[in-house]
A and B are shown apart, each in its own frame.
Chain A
């Protein structure tokens, strides 16, 4: 069964009097448990595609369904609910909330879900154990290395056990060792929890972990291939 179904999707942005087409005629399907990368040069539309899948943006034409929800028909509140319950985000720049501790950053999505405090505590500690940061619960983001920050971001994305994690250039700011560690962690989560991962990346280190690689070029799908024995 498809987790995400995209049909004849196009995305325009108004520029001056005209419009810029970021994505055109995209037809894609993603199944549960995939570990997929969207690759392509800067400006090829990777982030736009992730934003639309993540209901942060809407397409201009065509249909996009995420877990049975038509993205264009979702109200802002329902889109927020979809993200809150089913989607986790990981960003290139980590985007942790600087005034909160590691524990509080990871706890935040669960507060939005209204989970009781005791359950929250257990879930947060479990997630931090997954990413190997059990000893950093009281640290603030400023006290962590880049790799540790990204692992906190992963813990925050997976703490609610989402169906889908969207990762936008997750290793772009990391060195090889940290990138490897992060990707291993995500691979483990994908295998053991069955969480679907979709990356946007042009990092060769990421590409060798992917099971499916979708290449975008000038806003169009250039190649869609199974890789690394996926």
Chain B
């Protein structure tokens, strides 16, 4: 019977071509959308992790209360010891202390008077102990002019700030801020280079300095705003497990300076964004199944009318209504599988294309506060290869299940009479 149905589908194009076209188009869009959302989520996680959230981060409970303001005066103390403990407890992870600070960047003229001034968001990161932060922030590739700091007292500033304030490589600049204890602080730096990350939130006003310079400048010896933790590969469940274990051991609700570990997903807008992405994907697949089912239901009805003669003769030969109904569902299953394979293949081609050639969305991110790369790419994962099977096959079979009910609604004699006319 299977062979008999397959032959019919192959030879009778009107029976298979339209449903295959519809389902393959839908599956293609599903695969592309899934890979696109995947690419977006992966990029969102990766960019936020390296610039802001880590896979997890440790802060004091007081700092966490005001985390949007990044109050480094409520930062972590005895950071070196803490990192040693963390490294021994989680040997596979990497821990990076960072200090975030706001300041005024002042460019003086030859007489030492202000030539131009602008606000910057300072990043105190470890630039010299090893290459981890340099690699994490992708500094080598982000350098648009000049070079990476090679010694203490050098600073990298964003290309946009440099252009706005007229700063050149080699210029001496002063950053004016306040120490951890509230007194005014000023520190001179030599501009070693400009950076362009392709992330609007960073490119608008970042200044990157070695953490030891910042500690000295802000009077934060052995302190840090945050300690970021990185797994060898991001895994959400692991971040929650480690955070829960850490908080159980070290966090104390009654001590505002006790530490708390925050997994990436719970930080800032990440929960909202990642949940929204999951929901969009689920909604898209649901809408696809619903719309495709409606279309295929109609197509099944039209096909059923066209095949009244065949159904009538099959009844006369001795096939039961149930058997005919099941065979129509089997046909739709075969169509669903074939269309899904075609749609998945086409969807993967487009997805791979968008994975290697992203789309520039920088114009849409001008005022965005979300850390996100200006080039959006799809990402093909193993799930991209089979995600289309659920909507493809379900829509096809659902359409046949609904349209096939007509066979039961008409009595045999009526079907037979229509066969004769």
Annotate B1-20 by CB proximity to A: 1 below 8 A, 0 otherwise: 10010011001100000000
Contacts of B420 in A (CB 8 A): 47, 91-93, 168
Contacts of A83 in B (CB 8 A): 315-318
Give CA–CA (A84, B313) in the complex, Å: 12
**Segment from B196-204, B319-327, B370-378 that makes contact with A:** B319-327
Per the 8 Å Cβ criterion, residues 136-158 of A in contact with B are 156
Q: Is A56 an interface residue (CB 8 A)?
A: yes
Give CA–CA (A109, B319) in the complex, Å: 8
Contact across chains for B416 and A80 when beta carbons are under 8 A apart: no
Given contacts A89-B316, A99-B11, contact A77 B419 (CB under 8 A): no
Per the 8 Å Cβ criterion, residues 53-92 of A in contact with B are 54, 56-57, 76-77, 79-85, 87, 89, 91-92
- Chain B binding site: helix, strand, loop or mixed by DSSP? helix
Give CA–CA (A109, B315) in the complex, Å: 11
How many pairs of residues, A versus B, come closer than 8 Å at their CB atoms? 75
Query: Which of A81, A99, A100 makes the CB contact (< 8 A) with B318?
Result: A81
Contacts of B309 in A (CB 8 A): 95
Contact across chains for A95 and B312 when beta carbons are under 8 A apart: yes
In the complex, what residue of chain A is closest to B421 when comparing beta carbons? A93
Interface residues on A, range: 20 to 34
Per the 8 Å Cβ criterion, residues 295-314 of B in contact with A are 309-310, 312-314
Q: How many Å from the CB of A151 to the closest CB on chain B? A: 16
Give CA–CA (A147, B310) in the complex, Å: 20
Contacts of A108 in B (CB 8 A): 4, 314, 317
Annotate A170-211 by CB proximity to B: 1 below 8 A, 0 otherwise: 000000000000000000000000000000000000000000
Give CA–CA (A168, B309) in the complex, Å: 16
In the complex, what residue of chain B is closest to A86 when comparing beta carbons? B318
Give CA–CA (A97, B327) in the complex, Å: 16
Contact across chains for A100 and B8 when beta carbons are under 8 A apart: yes
Determine which residue in A54, A83, A91, A99 has the highest number of CB atoms from chain B within 10 A of its CB, and name it. Answer: A99
Given contacts A91-B420, A95-B312, A104-B4, contact A84 B412 (CB under 8 A): no
Contacts of B319 in A (CB 8 A): 80, 84, 112
Give CA–CA (A56, B415) in the complex, Å: 9
Query: Which of B4, B7, B8, B316 makes the CB contact (< 8 A) with A54?
Result: B316
Closest 3 CB pairs of A and B: A84-B318, A80-B320, A57-B413
- Name B residues whose Cβ lies closer than 8 Å to a Cβ of A: 1, 4, 7-8, 11-12, 309-310, 312-323, 412-413, 416, 419-420
Can you list 14 contacts pairing A with B, beta carbon distance less than 8 Å? A51-B413, A56-B316, A57-B416, A76-B412, A80-B320, A83-B315, A84-B318, A87-B318, A95-B313, A95-B316, A95-B419, A108-B317, A111-B1, A112-B317
